[in-house]
Amino acid sequence: MLTVLFRTPQGGIVVTADQFELRSSNDGLSHKPVDIKTNLYTPDKSPPYYSRWVHLKFLPLSEQLDQITFVFPQGSVLVNGHAVELAPFRFRKVERQDVYYASINC
């Protein structure tokens, strides 16, 4: 599951999420989302932004991937009818254990 937030003060966000791609460095394959859910929030008192949350589900499991690149193809994100060019997001699996135990007694 991958969630992306698009936020703009002027609205007019159009997202064609079925064009987004998840590229795996393990096998070099490109994966399309199998399930997409979106939420749009309009400005209220605070914050004064239009926010579109896009929740994407892909078939490969995170345990099967070491490095991924999330790509926004040209024309997949529009703001007020104009294509926005977005750089790909790159992620690398990191194994880390940082355990912290604490208690608060009130």
Q: Tell whether 9 is covered by a domain.
A: yes
The predicted structure's pLDDT at residue 20: 95
Q: What is the pLDDT of residue 88?
A: 92
Query: Does residue 100 sit within a domain?
Result: no
Domain tally for the chain?
Answer: 1
Per-residue pLDDT tens for 82-92? Answer: 999 999 999 88
User: How far are the Cα atoms of 3, 7, 13, 35, 105 from residue 58, in angstroms, in the given order?
Assistant: 11, 23, 23, 7, 43
- Asked whether residue 21 is assigned to any structural domain, the reply reads yes
Cβ contacts of 4 within 8 Å, gap of 6 or more: 20, 53, 54, 56, 70
Answer whether residue 43 is part of any domain.
Answer: yes
- pTM comes to 0.77
Could you list the residue range(s) of the whole structural domain that residue 40 is in? 2-92
Q: List, for residues 1-43, the tens digit of each pLDDT value.
A: 889 999 888 888 899 999 999 998 877 888 999 999 999 888 8
Amino acid at 96: R
Q: Are 35 and 56 in contact (CB under 8 A)?
A: yes
Residue 39 lies in a domain: yes
- 34 assigned to some structural domain: yes
Q: Is the pLDDT of residue 67 over 60?
A: yes
